[in-house]
Amino acid sequence: MFIAFIGVFIAPFTAVFITACTVGPNYQPPQADVPAQWHDTQHAAANAATASAASATSSASVPTVDSDPDPRWWRSFNDPTLDSLIERAVAGNPDLQQAVLRIAQARLQTQQAAAQGLPNLRATASYQREQLGLKGILESQGVYNRVDQLGAPGSPLDSISPNAGTAVQNGANKLLDQLTAPVNLWQAGFDASWELDLFGRVRRSVEASQAQTQAAIENRNDALLSLEAEVAQTYAQLRGAQTIRAVATSLVDQQREIVELTQSQAKVGLASQLDVRSAAAQLATTQAGLPQYDQQIEQSMNGLAYLVGEAPGALDTELSTPAAVPPVPPTVPIGLPSTLARRRPDIREAEANLHAATASVGVAVAQFYPDISLTGSVGTRALNASDLSHWSHLFYAFGPQISLPIFQGGALVANLKLSKVQQANAALAYRKAVLGALRDVDNALAVYRTDQARHVSLDDSVREQQQAFDLARDSYRKGLVTYINVLDAERQLAQDREQAAQSNAQVTTDLVALYKALGGGWQDDASAAAAR
């Protein structure tokens, strides 16, 4: 009965609610102001016109705008171990799991905002023992004195019957005792209320919450992209440290041979003890660098263990065997600047924040308009619990309520201005995110290109210096040059080989940084991870 009653009551208001307006600005997605081409690719093309630049980078990995980056960019390194590490990091990293929980929190807040626009129905029941204090009121009004006079001798009732006054007095006293006695009041029923969102305050709140949920999703995507890049860079650093240690170990073996050679030469008078001591000192210097590389290797393995959600040492068995640094692919698809805003999670998060700020302006505007609510209650009320089921004890109340702000001390105006300032700030944050993304990509392209050119030169230097060292060693063995020539060639070779190994790892980490700047790596599994 109550549901049917409320339905009949609110039916006229439903049509008004459906045709209600939503005040405040409607959100319009911003247009990212980006150039047609990457600045560094144009700069590189201009430099490549010279023969020297072309020859220096002829074997380098070339960025291409023909297609967008592969969302699974790490697979271009063709390293199954790296693929496995990234997969485990996505599943077990605590930071990423926290980002997923923030998405769940934002979705629950959206549900809370949406609930404000739905009817609210509550069942109520109560019991009270009441003493209304009527006896004192009746005494103050002289009621008890008048009742006592009814049974007094000579009262008007005595003329009717000798005992009439006493009988009436006794009846009146009983009635008064019943009226002034404590009572038990039982009540059961339903209360309902529904705020008619005629001006869109609730709808704008829901819109803002949904945009904040999207911002939380993009924050998770940004965390995912950063995690993938950090795993790949740490893995490249690990393999680079292992490669450098292998280079240093081979240099130790090579320098040990030089020590033995100088000792042999000294025995026959072809070398001095200074040469022997210098060779031994160079060997000791190279050996002193080995613990440093061991430290880097252990720190990298511990870093990878942390990223995949494991304790230090959990990956030692898997990663302790040295392996080569993942090579860069021949071509790197980077797409056009116009597609960057759709791939970069930080830009998408800034856009969602702008959407939320725009909707909040609508909430602030709606607070200037009346709030209209429908309220109603129905139930039964009785002095005995057994009488609650009787319709004769039914009570009900219903009607609309309206609240119109008249004077708030300027709070509503200040709130609206604050919302507009926050919207303007969010628009600037979006523009800043776009400019920052363009800068990141162009910087990453420049670093990748120049580090590749440096690596090519270092490789050439290692080849030339190896030949110089071989010649110096053979000439020293034949007594044609002094040991100082061998020592200089040896030092330069050790330096060049170490720099070349470092440069090789740096090129790989540069490519990872470029992929991160381009914003791929979250598209395929973002929804799956967010649903967990």
What span, in angstroms and rounded, lies between the C-alpha atoms of 497 and 462? 6
By CB atoms closer than 10 A (0-12, 13-18, 19+), residue 75 is middle
Residue 2 confidence (pLDDT): 44
- Domain limits of the chain? 73-116+203-314+332-370+411-462+492-531, 132-182
* pLDDT interval class at 312 (50, 70, 90): very high
Select the highest-mean-pLDDT range: 60-74, 203-217, 256-270, 482-496: 203-217
Digit-coded pLDDT (tens) for 27-48 = 999 988 889 888 888 777 766 6
Pairing of strands 331-333, 62-64: parallel
Greater confidence (197 vs 228) lies with 228
DSSP string, 66-78: SSPPPTTGGGGG-
Residue 502, phi-psi category: left (phi > 0), alpha (psi -120 to 50), beta (remainder):
alpha
Residue 137 confidence (pLDDT): 75
* pLDDT interval class at 55 (50, 70, 90): very low
Question: End-to-end alpha-carbon separation of the chain, Å?
Answer: 43
* pLDDT interval class at 484 (50, 70, 90): confident
Cα→Cα distances 46→40, 43, 53, Å? 10, 5, 10
Residue 283 confidence (pLDDT): 85
For 107, other C-beta atoms within 10 Å of its C-beta total 17
Q: Note whether 96 and 141 are within 8 A (CB).
A: no
What span, in angstroms and rounded, lies between the C-alpha atoms of 337 and 140? 91
**Residue 376's beta-bridge partner residues?**
192, 398
Residue 48 confidence (pLDDT): 60
- pLDDT exceeds 70 at position 511: yes
* pLDDT interval class at 160 (50, 70, 90): low
- pLDDT exceeds 60 at position 210: yes
- pLDDT exceeds 80 at position 174: no
- pLDDT exceeds 90 at position 401: no
Digit-coded pLDDT (tens) for 16-30 = 444 568 898 999 999
Residue 452 confidence (pLDDT): 92
Q: Which of 513, 431, 503, 529 has its CA nearest to residue 69? A: 513
In CATH terms, is domain 73-116+203-314+332-370+411-462+492-531 a member of 1.10.10.10? no
Scanning the structure block, which residue is given the tokens 């252990």?
Answer: 298
- pLDDT exceeds 80 at position 377: yes
- pLDDT exceeds 70 at position 260: yes
- pLDDT exceeds 90 at position 447: yes
Q: Note whether 367 and 404 are within 8 A (CB).
A: no
- pLDDT exceeds 60 at position 1: no
Q: What are the phi and psi torsion angles at 438 (to 5°)?
A: -60, -40
Sequence-ordered strand ranges (E) for 305-459: 331-333, 371-382, 394-403
**Mean residue pLDDT across the chain:** 84
* pLDDT interval class at 406 (50, 70, 90): confident
Percent of the chain with pLDDT over 90: 39
- pLDDT exceeds 80 at position 428: yes
- pLDDT exceeds 60 at position 52: no
- pLDDT exceeds 60 at position 369: yes
Residue 54 confidence (pLDDT): 41
What span, in angstroms and rounded, lies between the C-alpha atoms of 160 and 224? 102
Q: Which of 469, 498, 479 has its CA nearest to residue 257? A: 469
Query: Which DSSP category does 159 fall into?
Result: G
- pLDDT exceeds 50 at position 395: yes
Cα→Cα distances 79→109, 233, 435, Å? 42, 13, 33
Residue 357 confidence (pLDDT): 95
Scanning the structure block, which residue is given the tokens 């997605």?
Answer: 29
Residue 321 confidence (pLDDT): 93
Select the highest-mean-pLDDT range: 100-114, 133-147, 355-369: 355-369
